[in-house]
Structure 1
Amino acid sequence: MTKSILTRQIVKYIKTNKNCIFINQITHEFSITKRTLQRLFETHIGQPPKWVIERYRMMDALDKLNTSNKVSLTELSHQLGYFDLAHFSKAFTTLMGTPPSHYHFSE
């Protein structure tokens, strides 16, 4: 298997496995070291694996925020694997440029 194919398989795994939030889950699933994973992503994606994981988590968050105005931000942050709302809000704002409350409309 070529390294580019392996990288694509890892990205697909991250995208389809919503519970994939830690690097060690990927290294265990694909029987590779953390450094090998980092090199694959540096070479083929240009971003670290954690960035890809975060990006898919934020895409899930946006989808949920855009489809339901009844979702609790605290509940959403826990569903996405964040320790608390503050960590989720900081990660969301860093990647999206605006806080999740900008997208969240409570009644």
Structure 2
Amino acid sequence: MGASAGFVAYVREQFAPLGAAVTDAVFFGGRAFSYHGKQFAWVMGSTLYLRVGDATRGDFVAHGAEPFSYVTRKGQVEVRKFYTAPEFLLDDSEQLLAWARQAIASAE
């Protein structure tokens, strides 16, 4: 599943206020977003995933977010460092930036 070009462009626009330190590149068929070289988000398909840490994981879970997962021959694998961005963030630029800043802090 690749990253939706339109959705990547939307996310790139939303992250623009974070400055030139934000870069993005191909990442396992999706698109990874990094801040000063530290990955804090990625897009797979039309889904945005943000980096979480012990201090922020509860907020994601409380908003119904789920960890990134994929299926292998041995079963499902969960990547608990990245959770889906809660839906409300995609409609609220200020909140998305606030959560992105927390994701950046979690990546350091």
TM-score under structure 1 length normalisation: 0.23
Higher radius of gyration, 1 or 2: 1
- Structure holding more helix per residue: 1
Which structure has more relative contact order (CA 8 Å, sep 6+)? It is: 2
- Structure holding more strand per residue: 2
TM-score under structure 2 length normalisation: 0.23
